[in-house]
Amino acid sequence: MKLFVTLLLCFSAFNVNAAQKAVTEEGDIVLLNGDGTWLYEDNNAYGEIEIKTNPTIFKKPISSNFILKSKTNNSAFAIDTKEWAFVRSKSDDTSIEYSFNLKAGDLYGMAITERIEIDSEKLAEIAFENAKEAAPDAKVVKKEYRIVNGKKLIYMEMTGTMKGIKFKYMGYYFSDVSGSTQFVVYTGASLVSKYNTEIDNILNGFTVQ
């Protein structure tokens, strides 16, 4: 539970632990962390990873036969309810429409939906900039275009550290005229390989109504 709360805060309360910026005598911009450590701002440059297209065609698993439809835009999320529990937000004040947790493990997810159309690449960039606010050492380690259930979107992986926990986020970023969606799963970085199948299955349940 502590892992879930910490990583959720990393995604939804970015400004709480934002690092301060400073300029060195050589003119370089560095990020000062609360624990006294620092790193160069350029180390987190978003544009370092070129976006290529993965030729694989991704489809939802047959076992993902329970469909959650967004009330915000045209996105929908097919999940296997034997593996995943979910909660729909009761508040209109949050953009996190659905939260997910793997019933048998420390793997969590969320569907962040908006009514505003945003270019998918810009949407992913905004997500990364937000992650850096909470985890100054955040990095994009993978980013590519994918065709998922007939829709072209961006897949992105981010890593970072918050409150001593090394985390990893893996998600789909999609936008059309009905709005924008970030469909993201996350866990401790050391646990990702354990949950590769579950990660792929839930993410590939993303569809458009």
Q: What does the pLDDT look like over 170-187, one tens digit per residue?
A: 999 999 999 999 999 999
Map tokens 């045209």 to a residue: 74
What does pTM read for this prediction?
A: 0.79
Residue 14 — pLDDT band, cuts 50, 70, 90?
Answer: very low
Taking alpha carbons only, the member of 50, 82, 42 closest to residue 63 is 82
What CA–CA distance (Å, rounded) separates 124 from 126?
5
What CA–CA distance (Å, rounded) separates 191 from 146?
24
pLDDT of residue 163: 87
Taking alpha carbons only, the member of 206, 39, 69 closest to residue 139 is 39
pLDDT of residue 5: 44
Least confident of 91-95, 108-112, 203-207: 91-95
| % residues pLDDT > 90 (the chain) | 69
State which of 4-13, 43-52, 90-99, 151-160 shows the largest mean pLDDT. Answer: 151-160
Task: Give the mean pLDDT of the chain.
Answer: 84
Residue 9 — pLDDT band, cuts 50, 70, 90?
Answer: very low
The domains of the chain, with CATH numbers, are: 2-208 (3.40.1000.10)
49 against 188, higher pLDDT:
188
Pure H helices in 55-111? none
Residue 65 has pLDDT above 60, yes or no: yes
pLDDT of residue 179: 97
88 against 1, higher pLDDT:
88
